[in-house]
Amino acid sequence: MTALPNTMHFAAPVRRRGTISVPTVTLAHGGGGSAMRNLIDDVFVSVFDNPALAPLEDQARFSLAELSRLGDRLAFTTDSYVVDPLFFPGGDIGKLAVCGTINDLAVGGAIPLYLTCSAIIEEGLEVDTLRALAKSMALAAADAGVSIVTGDTKVVHKGTCDKLFLNTAGIGIIREGVNLGADRCRPGDAVLVNGLLGDHGAAILNARGDMALSTAIESDCAALHELIAELLAAAPATRFIRDATRGGLATVLNEAARASGAGIEIWETATPMREEVKAFCEILGLDPLYLANEGKIVCVVPKDEQAAALQSLRGHPLGRGAAIVGHVTGESPGRVVMNTAFGGRRIVDMLVGDQLPRIC
């Protein structure tokens, strides 16, 4: 038998993509047959389309040589999103999932490249709602320059999940020489944030309508990788970066203090927060230091780079409200202390539980 010449290639057949016309998701859309394939094609593949996704294999495949040209380490993260309501002022669960995963990569100094999307859908969810959220994810990914390259879809019985849960994983590359970690904080370092705190947590609670408040507060949901890249260029000795999501500023600072064995001191009057959020927290008896954010980072930088770091943050659209809120000390190891507006001092501890309902 004559062997085929090496130059001969067989083109993969082009699969015709399906569509759906029913108004709501049914259990058949999770059954693994044509209904499921049509749902995936119509809702997800149509908007996520890119060369890595196009083969529709059970995994996305990448060239290690191409990845290694960007850096010397791989960053890998995953997160799940269960926010209620699905749509809120300033964003939705789709945008939240993309931006949150990008930020989890970026705070480690990684260049975000690829995301996954797994959807757990409650039977009865409107297909148009699912389409809108998939389009939101695609737009957020495109704006950030990342690709959604693989995923999974499950449909569960009505009442066994709250409309839609999303899980996203992300891969990025860390450049050589970038080393960030909570254990790297040292006495004398400055603590910075890139803007107003607490907007996301307040926006979600307000959007639920349980409080009957008329205050218009929008989520700060945003992808922060470009802001972080500029920060690292301006302050290359930056010690630590973390996005202040669930648990807010207080949780991030406690994690840094405990990991480094140093103390952290902050000033209430220097902590940027809009008056509406302060009033919102006063009405509900909440501590704004624990409110979630989805577009805010906490940075710890050496004292001699704090001016450059602050200038860099303020020079980016997502950092114009940046401020130095405190510093790392050799006192009170492992603790966070706030200097209050009234001239006193109080310990800012980790929450034992949740001070408010789940918001992400």
Residue 10 included in any domain: no
Residue 206 has pLDDT above 90, yes or no: no
Mean pLDDT along residues 288-304: 96
For the ranges 27-41, 171-185, 212-226, which has the lowest average pLDDT? 212-226
pLDDT digits (tens, 9 = 90+) for 180-204: 999 999 999 999 999 999 999 999 9
Answer yes or no: do 163 and 32 share one domain. yes
pLDDT by residue (tens digit) across 215-242?
778 999 999 999 999 999 999 999 999 9
Asked whether residue 71 falls in the same domain as residue 186, the answer is: no
Nearest to 327 by CA among 265, 267, 270, 262: 265
In this structure, are 151 and 221 located in the same domain?
no
Report yes or no on 9 lying in a domain: no
**CA angle (146 as vertex; 142, 147 as ends), nearest 5:** 90
pLDDT over 90 (residue 9): no
- Note whether 152 and 219 are same-domain residues: no
Residue 217 lies in a domain: yes
Question: Are 205 and 253 contained in the same domain?
Answer: yes
User: Which pLDDT belongs to residue 1?
Assistant: 41
Please compute the mean of the pLDDT values over residues 32-54 and round it to a whole number: 94
155 and 117 in one domain?
yes
pLDDT in tens, 297-349: 999 999 999 999 999 999 999 999 999 999 999 999 999 999 999 999 999 99
Give 121's pLDDT tier (boundaries 50, 70, 90). Answer: very high
Overall number of domains in the chain: 2
List the domain range (segments joined by +) for residue 149.
Answer: 27-174
CATH number reported for the structural domain that contains residue 286 in this entry: 3.90.650.10
Same domain flag for 75 and 133: yes
Domain CATH for 69 = 3.30.1330.10
**Of 174, 200, 221, which one is at a domain's C-terminal end?**
174
21 within domain boundaries? no
| Predicted TM-score (pTM) of this structure | 0.93
Does residue 163 lie in a domain region?
Answer: yes
In a domain, residue 164? The reply is yes
Domain assignment of residue 358, yes or no: no
The answer to whether residues 306 and 205 belong to one domain is yes
Domain boundary among 174, 194, 222: 174
For range 11-33, the mean pLDDT: 82
**204, 340: one domain:** yes
In a domain, 1, yes or no: no
